[in-house]
Amino acid sequence: MAFSMSNASSRMPNIEPVPGLRSLISSMRWFPRRFWRFPIVRNYAVRIHRGRKGVLETDGRILFTALPDMVEAYSAKLAGSRSVITLMSGSRLFIGDGTVVGPGARFNIGPDAEVRIGGRCLLNESCTVYCRESLTIGDDCAISWGVKIMDTDFHVLVKGGERMSESSPVKIGDHVWIGSNATILKGVTVGDDAVVGAGAVVTRDVPPGVVVAGNPARTIHEGVDWHWM
């Protein structure tokens, strides 16, 4: 597995694991018309449940891989953790070229809902994405361990006798860093180049180029940029 800094403006690492037999089998199953290009490359177990007309798409190559030598918590046991993708009837998951999905990640995408993840992103170990309507993550984003992103409350609130909406689209811009164990809730837009601190609970929009932290998350720095190590 090769690690090198990209020359692109993303400043994200270039991660290119070597495809093996498991990658070939997964590619043949999910992308039979172009399996020889290895659109799925993996070095740990991945389970994909697909309902009627559920779709998994990519414009290049999805990397389901652990990150040895980059993550202190990496271990042989962790590398064996299974990621699970659940695509309910009519749902769609698009993952862009070069995006890395770490072990233990979970995607739960409801009927007719859509999740779009850009290229050259990192979704680290044990990230969870829940979608019942629409959820978008831009290019060159770093999503750390244990992050939860959801566009729904999974329950209904009633106020003044009227039912409140339980779902609202989430949009995360380009080059966003979300720290470990942070939670992004429904209806939130996170602007380009923003940083969400570890453990933050984001309940409202985050402007571009700021750092937010806390519960609920509040701006603690403005006019910032961040780089990959």
Is 227 a catalytic site residue? no
Residues β-bridged to residue 159 = 162
* 216 cis-preceded (ω within 30 degrees of 0): yes
Query: Encoding tokens for residue 38?
Result: 């290895």
Q: Which of 110, 113, 136, 139 is nearest to 6 (CA)?
A: 139
Taking the C-alpha atoms of residue 5 and residue 152, their distance in angstroms, rounded to an integer, is 36
Taking the C-alpha atoms of residue 80 and residue 157, their distance in angstroms, rounded to an integer, is 39
Query: Encoding tokens for residue 186?
Result: 């429904």
Catalytic residue among 49, 155, 221, 227: 155
Taking the C-alpha atoms of residue 156 and residue 13, their distance in angstroms, rounded to an integer, is 41
Q: Do 56 and 87 meet the contact criterion of CB atoms below 8 Å apart?
A: yes
Taking the C-alpha atoms of residue 41 and residue 121, their distance in angstroms, rounded to an integer, is 15
The dihedral through the CA atoms of 56, 59, 60, 62 has a sign that is: negative
Taking the C-alpha atoms of residue 88 and residue 108, their distance in angstroms, rounded to an integer, is 8
Amino acid at the residue 138: G
Considering only CA atoms, give the Rg of the chain: 17
Enumerate the active-site residues. 155
